[in-house]
Structure 1
C-alpha cells in the first residue's frame, strides 16, 4: 500500500485504484447501454452497489475491530477494513443488488450481461494500473491475464444483444465453450509450470551481499547505525536472520498514533518467531527530543526504538510520508514498502511474504 502525493495532499493508492477502476467500469457500461431504456436503472444500480461496497470496506474496522476503533476514532481516517472489509463490501453489495433485482426481475438478463462487462473492465483496469505503477512493475502473469480479460471483454461486448445462454457461452454453444474453458485451464497449468521451471533454472541463488543495495523490492536494504534511548549503537544488519518491519514514525503524526497499538500487539504475538519491529523515530522532526520517549512510555511500546536525530536514516530510506514501513526478509532483502498506517492483518501478510522470500 502506497501514498499518492497531490501537492500537500496525501491519498491512499488503493483508494485511487478503486476509483479509477470503478470509473472505467462506469464509462464502458454507459457506452454499451447507450440508447437502451434500461441504462439509467443499471447505472444507478452499479453506482449504488459500488458506493455501498466502498463504505463497507473503508469503515469495516467498525465491524471487525470495534473496541480499538471506539478508543481511537481517527483510525477510520487512516485505516480500512482490509481483506475482511473487501469481502464484507462484496457481500453487502451483492445483497443490495439481489434486493433491487428481486423487485425488477425482468432486468436479470441485462444485469448479468452488464455485471460481466463491468467486472471485466474493472479487472482489466486494475491489471493495467498494477503493470504501470506497481512496486514490482508488470509481470508475465499480468500480461497473460490482461490479454485474457481484454479478449473476454471484446467477446462480451460483441455478444451483448444475444440471448443470455448464448452470451454466457461466448457465442460458441455449450460444448465448444466447455472445450475452450478446459483448454484455457490447461494453458494456465503449462504456463505456470514453465515460469516456475525457468525460475528454478536461473542458476545459483545470489547471496544478500551479491544483491545490489536499494529501496525497491528485491534489493538489499541499506544498513545504518542509530542509537537507542540508552545510547547503544544499533545496526539494522544486526537483525539479519530475522524478519524485520522497519518503521519510521513521529510522535506528532496522527496516522503514526493510530498505527502504534497495532504494532505493539503484533510484536507481542510474533516476537518469539524471529520477527522484530525496528522502530525509527524521526527525532529531527520532533519538537522536543523527549516527546518520542514520552510517547513510547504512554503507549507501552516494548519493541526496539532508535532515534534518527540527524535525519540520516530517514533520508537514506527516502521517507516522505509518515509513517513508512519496510518489510525486510531474514537475508536483508526488501520485500515491500508501505506508506501510511497499516493494521495487524497487513503486518502478518507482509511478514509472511518477507519470510518466504528467504529460502
Structure 2
C-alpha cells in the first residue's frame, strides 16, 4: 500500500492515479475541442463538473450518516458518501452539463469530447494502476490496449460525426472491458501466484489472491494470537495507532460493525503499531475508552507492519475463510465499505 502521511491526512497512490487520470482526460478533451470549435470559443465545463462532483460526493455523507457528522464533524475530512454518493454526484454533474449545454449548437461536439476524455482518463488509470498497484499484467495490459485502440479509432473520425457512431464506439468499449473482466476472473487470474508457497501449495504474499503471511502477536493481557487461528472466518486485519486521527474516527465504526457481524463468521484483528506508541498503557486506555471487544494485538517491533507494507494508518486487509487476501484499503473505512469488504 503506497501512502504518504501529512499530519492527519493520508495521500495514497490511488489518489494520485485518479488525479493523473483526470488531468489526462481534461487535456484530451481540450485538444479534441481545439480544432472543432470556432476560433475564440472556449469550453471550461470540465472544471465545473469536477468541482460539483467532488463537493456532492464528499458532502453526501451527511445524507447517509447525519448523526455521525453531528457527533464528530471531523468525519467530513475522512469520509464521503461512498459509492452511493459517487452515483448521486455523477447524476447531478451529468444533469448540470445537460442543462448548461442543451441549447448549444455544438452539443454533438461536446458529447464527442466528453466521451473520448472518459476513455482516455480510464485508460490512463488502468495503465498507472498496473505500474503502481497490485494487478494482473495480462488483464491490465489488455485493458490498456483496448483503450488505446479505441482512442485511435475515435480520433480519426470528425467530432461533428453522428451521435450514433460515437455512442456505438463507446458502448463497444464498455462491452469489451466487461468481457475482459469476466474472462480475467474466470481464467488467467486464477493462476496468479507468488514465489513463496505454503505447505498446501498456495502462494503466500500480500497481493490480492495470495494467502496472507501468518504472524503471532500478544494481546494486552499477554495472550498469544496467531492470524491462522481465525482460519474458517472472514478476517479484517486493521493496522492502526492511538495517535492517528482517522483511526480514532474509524474505531467506533469498527466496533459497531463487529457487534453486528461477529455472529456471522466475521472477525476484526486489530494490530496496533505499538512501536510508535509511548507505551502499551495508552493502547489499553484507548481500547477501554471505546469499549473494543474484537482482538487487539501489539506489533511491538513493527515487523508485522513491515511485512504487510503499511506506510500509513489506518490500513485494512480483507481475508476470506481460507486466509486469502481479497481486498486492501488505505485510510478510514465507513460502514458501507466494511460491508462491501466482507461480501
TM bracket, shorter-chain basis:
0.7 to 0.9
Q: Which residue of the partner structure matches residue 154 of structure 2?
A: 156
Change (3 A) 1:50 1:224: same
Q: Contact conserved, 2:220 with 2:280, CA < 8 A, in 1? A: no
Q: Which residue of the partner structure matches residue 15 of structure 1?
A: 15
CA offset at residue 233 of structure 1? 1.6
SS in 2 for 1:346: helix
Distance across 2 between alignment mates of 1:308 and 1:6? 20
CA offset at residue 119 of structure 1? 1.5
Change (3 A) 1:185 1:287: closer
Q: Which residue of the partner structure matches residue 46 of structure 1?
A: 46
SS in 2 for 1:106: coil
CA offset at residue 137 of structure 1? 4.0
Q: Contact conserved, 2:241 with 2:273, CA < 8 A, in 1? A: yes
Note the 1:273-352 alignment, pairs <5 A.
Answer: 273-352=264-343
Distance across 2 between alignment mates of 1:194 and 1:301? 40
Q: Contact conserved, 2:143 with 2:180, CA < 8 A, in 1? A: no
CA offset at residue 26 of structure 1? 1.2
CA offset at residue 301 of structure 1? 1.4
1:257 aligns with 2:257: no
Q: Which residue of the partner structure matches residue 239 of structure 1?
A: 230
CA offset at residue 224 of structure 1? 2.1
Distance across 1 between alignment mates of 2:337 and 2:253? 10
CA offset at residue 149 of structure 1? 2.6
Q: Which residue of the partner structure matches residue 130 of structure 2?
A: 131
CA offset at residue 163 of structure 1? 3.4
| CA displacement 1:170-220 (0-9 Å, x = unmatched) | 7xxxxxx8xx969x9699769956973667899xxx977322432222332
Q: Contact conserved, 1:130 with 1:138, CA < 8 A, in 2? A: no
Q: Which residue of the partner structure matches residue 196 of structure 1?
A: 186
Q: Contact conserved, 2:240 with 2:247, CA < 8 A, in 1? A: yes
Structure 2 length normalisation: TM-score? 0.85
| CA displacement 1:95-119 (0-9 Å, x = unmatched) | 21122124x4323222211111211
Unaligned runs of 5+ in 2: none
Q: Contact conserved, 1:208 with 1:331, CA < 8 A, in 2? A: no
Distance across 1 between alignment mates of 2:83 and 2:283? 32
SS in 1 for 2:297: strand
The number of residues matched between the two structures is 336
Distance across 2 between alignment mates of 1:154 and 1:39? 27
| CA displacement 1:52-84 (0-9 Å, x = unmatched) | 112222333222222112222222222232211
Distance across 1 between alignment mates of 2:177 and 2:267? 42
Taking only aligned residues, the RMSD between alpha carbons, in angstroms, comes to 3.2
CA offset at residue 48 of structure 1? 0.7
CA offset at residue 332 of structure 1? 1.8
Distance across 2 between alignment mates of 1:299 and 1:7? 26
Change (3 A) 1:45 1:189: closer
CA offset at residue 279 of structure 1? 0.7
Question: If you compute each CA radius of gyration, which structure gives the higher value, 1 or 2?
Answer: 1
SS in 1 for 2:333: coil
Distance across 1 between alignment mates of 2:181 and 2:93? 34
SS in 1 for 2:220: coil
Change (3 A) 1:65 1:37: farther
Change (3 A) 1:217 1:193: closer
Distance across 1 between alignment mates of 2:74 and 2:260? 25
